[in-house]
């Protein structure tokens, strides 16, 4: 958990330094009234601010519980991510993101907080990219909610766990499409039972940026 906090602090510091970075000044040739060329300096922005939202189109999950060997499948999850990042020279972006995933079957809600890293392979209109997100996740289990919920109104809040996302896709204008896997590892508690769980989700997302 300490490593996750350190990574998030580094991401915050990086964004703060980028926001204060000066713009790069380059010379631009212009023509005078006498058709003579002169060099006129102009500013070229190296950094760009970007706010991004991503919504799950497909979210297929499989979970592993320990110490009791158990494998569960969850094909009914909905979720979204909101990411605030800085883009360097239109190719590298770093930022912080928050998200929400809700399991319709069992009433379990996941709230990830993560550092987001993206690399765009080209500066053309269609930009393929890879994405890695790492951070922590908070799990809340509503016993009454979900298709398999109980009659109890109890709410279980698990200890913060590990969150990891690896995906790839492409960006077209303000829209983006990507697919990848989410991994969550955490300790769960349900009345007098407790254990460790690892979930692996295949996610297809559609997003936009401002």
pLDDT, tens digit, 9 for 90 and up, residues 60-79: 877 776 656 566 666 678 89
Q: Are 133 and 164 in contact (CB under 8 A)?
A: yes
Strand (E) positions, 45-90? Answer: 47-66, 70-74, 77-88
The pTM of the whole model exceeds 0.85: no
> How crowded is the C-beta side of 130, counted as CA atoms within 13 Å?
3
Q: Topology of 47-209 in CATH?
A: Porin (2.40.160)
Q: Are 130 and 119 in contact (CB under 8 A)?
A: yes
Contacts of 136 (CB under 8 A, 6+ apart): 1, 4, 5, 8, 112, 113, 114, 160, 161, 162, 163
Phi, psi for residue 19 in degrees, rounded to 5: -65, -25
Closest by Cα among 121, 106, 134 to 6? 134
SS3 102: strand
Q: Are 95 and 86 in contact (CB under 8 A)?
A: yes
Q: Where are the domains of the chain?
A: 47-209
Closest by Cα among 175, 172, 177 to 127? 172
pLDDT tens string for the chain (210 positions)?
A: 555 545 554 554 454 444 444 444 444 444 455 555 555 554 545 778 788 899 988 888 777 766 565 666 666 788 999 999 888 888 899 999 999 998 877 788 999 999 999 999 988 889 999 999 999 999 998 876 666 656 677 788 888 999 999 999 999 988 999 999 999 999 887 777 778 888 888 999 999 987
SS3 54: strand
Contacts of 34 (CB under 8 A, 6+ apart): none
Which value, to the nearest 10 degrees, does the dihedral of the CA atoms of residues 83, 84, 90, 93 take?
-80
Asked whether the CA dihedral 82, 87, 92, 94 is positive or negative, the reply is negative
Residues 25-54, buried b or exposed e (16+ Cβ, 10 A)?
eeeeeeeeeeeeeeeeeeeeeebeebebbb
SS3 6: helix
């Amino acid at each position: 958990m300490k490593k996750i906090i350190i990574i998030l602090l580094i991401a915050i510091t990086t964004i703060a330094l980028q926001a204060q970075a000066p713009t790069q000044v380059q010379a631009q040739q212009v023509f005078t009234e006498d058709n003579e060329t002169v060099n006129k300096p102009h500013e070229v922005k190296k950094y760009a601010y970007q706010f991004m939202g991503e919504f799950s189109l497909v979210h297929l999950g499989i979970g592993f519980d320990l110490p009791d060997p158990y494998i569960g499948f969850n094909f009914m999850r909905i979720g979204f991510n909101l990411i605030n990042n800085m883009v360097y020279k239109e190719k590298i972006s770093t930022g912080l993101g928050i998200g929400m995933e809700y399991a319709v079957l069992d009433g379990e809600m996941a709230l990830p907080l993560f550092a987001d890293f993206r690399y765009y392979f080209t500066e053309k209109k269609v930009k393929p990219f890879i994405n890695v997100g790492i951070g922590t996740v908070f799990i809340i289990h509503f016993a009454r909610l979900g298709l398999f919920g109980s009659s109890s109104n109890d709410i279980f809040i698990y200890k913060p766990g590990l969150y990891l996302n690896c995906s790839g896709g492409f960006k077209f204008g303000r829209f983006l499409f990507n697919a990848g896997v989410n991994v969550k590892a955490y300790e769960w508690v349900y009345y007098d039972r407790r254990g460790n769980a690892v979930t692996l989700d295949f996610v297809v997302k559609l997003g936009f940026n401002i």
